[in-house]
Structure 1
Amino acid sequence: MCKIRIYPESKDNPYVENFFQVAYDKGFCVTGNSIFELIFSTDILHIQWPEAWRWEKKPKRLMMAGYFLFLPLLKFLFQIKVINTVHNLKPHSKQSNFAHWLYVRTLKQSEGFVHLTDSGKKEFLIEHPWASNRKHATIPHPDYARQLSSLNRDEARKKLGLSQSETRIAYFGYIKPYKGVDRLIETFLKLKISPESASLWVGGNTSEGMKKTLIDLTCDSSNIQLQLEYVAEDELETQVKAADWVVLPYFSGLNSGAAVYALSCGSRAVVPDTSVMRELDKLTGGGSFKYFRQADFTKVLSSVFTWSGGLSSTELNLDALGHQRIGKLYLDFVNLVTGRNQ
């Protein structure tokens, strides 16, 4: 039976849970990422984020750096295959020369790459042409249906005390500079919308410096609610289902789990105008996204407060993002990379 070790294990990330659920159910995708398991009990190392060793605390950070440093030797000695999910084209945080070198070197140890969209695959191969002779699969980001309850929009708005006429916009996810949350708040304030007609909710962990920046920006506003901490699943579901629009004001980025979560909740979203976002929209029926280019973000955000009705008559269809389909695609790719039948 093929043993798959996921690094980082990311038990608190529902994407990882949903993506690997079928493999878990079949009993051969084994979680856990201790050094011993990664060396002596691994047929496939599935790397989610090649830079993740930098997120570890000492001494594990040093041990994981050593593991990836000697990965070519470990692959040879223990016949380990490596699969890498391309969540981003490169790390969002600044890297040292050594970290960058090890990042690229680790990518090059991969026999196979999982891409969340065909557009993302194309961008990756432009960035890394050497990978064209490796194995590739496009396996979409799974939806979050397994994490959601039967709560509907009206019930969610009632829980939050929102009136029928109030336009609610929301941002959620880890708050980093490249995600443009401070720009979202500044733009919302610049539009000078009355508290009775619209409100903004921002939820997610962030650094102390960013937390201070956002608190300072909103100190005089009564219709902006900040929840700058981990948001529990039931609270997140309520906020997203209650929102008229989820706004993802990113300056950069390849994929977005937040966009998939918004779709899973049946919510509309304002997203960057990228080929990846347009592909995701088309894959799920089309008409759920409103797009902005960086220069016209203010104009697009302003337009959502006067919008009435739906974006499209096309019905949202999440079948392509179902975890059973995703799981089958993944196991087929495992067979391709290993050359064996499970």
Structure 2
Amino acid sequence: MADRQGRRLRVTQLLADPNRSARPVENPYTSLLVSSLPDERIETRYFGWADVLTSDADVVHMHWPENSLRHPRTAVRLLKRALFLLFILRLRMRRIAVVRTVHNARPHEEGDRGERWILGLLEARTTLWVTLNDVTPTPDPRRTVVIPHGHYRDRFASPALEPRRGNLVHFGMLKPYKGVDELISAFAAVPHELDYRLHIVGESHDGPLTERVRAASRRDERMDIDLRFVDETELADAVGAAEIVVLPYRAIENSGSALLALSLHRPVILPESPSTRLLEEEFGDEWVGLYRGPLTAETLQRAVEDLRDRPRDAAGPDMSERDWPRLGSLLADAYDRAAASLRRRA
């Protein structure tokens, strides 16, 4: 619904504007989410540093606010943090509601003490929390709503390639928390007679990790690596060629990569956790294979063989609960709730 003056709710997204980005977004989740919002209810804007002094939004929606506080150069980092503190002050003075989506209980790359202090101030100003599942914790469950991560079926074209037996694929930006080291170690110990191959595709900005992956591929001709940013067509083809996608994240609460694999009708192997058990319950153990403990050659082989033996529907898993129009309506409801909550307090 519109606000009590009959106008659309003004929502500022603390995200880079995809229409002005110099390169395609690495994760299309946020652009799909924003585009799913009903136009008749929500007026969407993207954050700019001018908002520190001029924002007249009703709601600001944040996903990864720590990204706005970081920069490799100290002077720029300090300036960004000072401006962000002014922005928090404006949120308070103008009584702008803050909606915060919690993708993980803690950032994968922990910030310094100054960053944690600023995020603590922001937490105190947060009006409503959004989680992607029922198990991600928030500071106040009474002010929390669950809005699942949507699927990618309408965004990614059907893969042009058929799955290749024994072809295991790991994709996405390479980062240590995603368990790439464990994956290449486990794969190296898989017997060659099993005729497995491992394809790793994704950009890397971590020099030591990049070198470890390159060194592993030089030692094992069964490994193929493509360490660059690939467009969506190339990514769909890489995933489509997989018999199984392997995502051995060290800590996992939500995974857009898992949902992308499932959207392209490819089963996925994940470590067991409260959130991955929810995925298994939702999509079935024929699509989501879980393993316990560290990833080894034995657990990898067992997970592959288990998934391989399970029949699957050619139409793919049922993802109707993750249709974007439904999720956009739920998010618009959350914005309404947050804005109304501040009006009641006023």
What RMSD, in angstroms, separates the aligned Cα atoms of the two structures? 2.5
Matches within 5 A, 1:130-279: 131-133=140-142, 135-151=143-159, 155-157=160-162, 162=164, 166-194=165-193, 197-206=195-204, 207-279=206-278
CA distance in 1, matches of 2:157, 2:267: 18
CA distance in 2, matches of 1:40, 1:57: 27
Indicate how the Cα distance of structure 1 residues 209 and 220 shifts in structure 2: closer, same or farther if over 3 A, else same: same
CA deviation vs aligned residue, 1:147-197 (integer Å, no higher than 9, x gap): 11133xxx4138xxx5xxx31110011111111101101111111324x82
1:324 corresponds in structure 2 to 325
Residue type of the partner of 1:254?
E
**Under a length normalisation based on structure 1, what TM-score does the superposition of the two structures give?**
0.86
Indicate how the Cα distance of structure 1 residues 259 and 213 shifts in structure 2: closer, same or farther if over 3 A, else same: same
Query: Does residue 80 of structure 1 match 2:96?
Result: yes
Residue type of the partner of 1:223?
R
Report deviation, 1:37. 3.2
Report deviation, 1:330. 0.6
Please identify, of 253-262 and 293-302, the stretch whose mean Cα deviation from structure 2 is larger.
Answer: 293-302
Please identify, of 10-19 and 239-248, the stretch whose mean Cα deviation from structure 2 is larger.
Answer: 10-19
Q: Which has the higher helix share?
A: 1
Gaps of 5+ in 1: none
SS for the counterpart of 2:50 is helix
Query: Does residue 17 of structure 1 match 2:31?
Result: yes
CA distance in 1, matches of 2:252, 2:17: 20
CA distance in 1, matches of 2:211, 2:127: 44
Report deviation, 1:285. 5.2
Report deviation, 1:51. 0.8
Matches within 5 A, 1:63-102: 63-102=79-118
Identity in percent: 24
1:50–1:107 Cα contact (<8 Å) kept: no
SS for the counterpart of 2:157 is coil
Query: Does residue 51 of structure 1 match 2:49?
Result: no
CA distance in 2, matches of 1:337, 1:79: 11
Indicate how the Cα distance of structure 1 residues 87 and 78 shifts in structure 2: closer, same or farther if over 3 A, else same: same
CA distance in 2, matches of 1:229, 1:313: 33
SS for the counterpart of 2:300 is helix
SS for the counterpart of 2:183 is helix
CA deviation vs aligned residue, 1:67-123 (integer Å, no higher than 9, x gap): 332344212322211000001111121321111111222222110011000112xxx
Indicate how the Cα distance of structure 1 residues 293 and 119 shifts in structure 2: closer, same or farther if over 3 A, else same: same
2:178–2:249 Cα contact (<8 Å) kept: yes
SS for the counterpart of 1:170 is strand
SS for the counterpart of 1:231 is coil
2:14 corresponds in structure 1 to 7
Residue type of the partner of 1:14?
P
CA distance in 2, matches of 1:143, 1:305: 24
Please identify, of 305-314 and 42-51, the stretch whose mean Cα deviation from structure 2 is larger.
Answer: 305-314
SS for the counterpart of 1:117 is coil
CA distance in 1, matches of 2:203, 2:124: 32
1:286–1:316 Cα contact (<8 Å) kept: no
CA distance in 1, matches of 2:40, 2:150: 18
Report deviation, 1:222. 1.5
Residue type of the partner of 1:9?
A
**Under a length normalisation based on structure 2, what TM-score does the superposition of the two structures give?**
0.85
Indicate how the Cα distance of structure 1 residues 203 and 296 shifts in structure 2: closer, same or farther if over 3 A, else same: closer
SS for the counterpart of 1:295 is coil
Gaps of 5+ in 2: 1-7, 19-24, 342-346
SS for the counterpart of 1:30 is strand
Q: Give aligned pairs, total.
A: 322
SS for the counterpart of 2:289 is strand
Residue type of the partner of 1:250?
Y
CA distance in 1, matches of 2:135, 2:70: 28
CA distance in 2, matches of 1:104, 1:22: 30
Query: Does residue 30 of structure 1 match 2:44?
Result: yes
2:244–2:304 Cα contact (<8 Å) kept: no
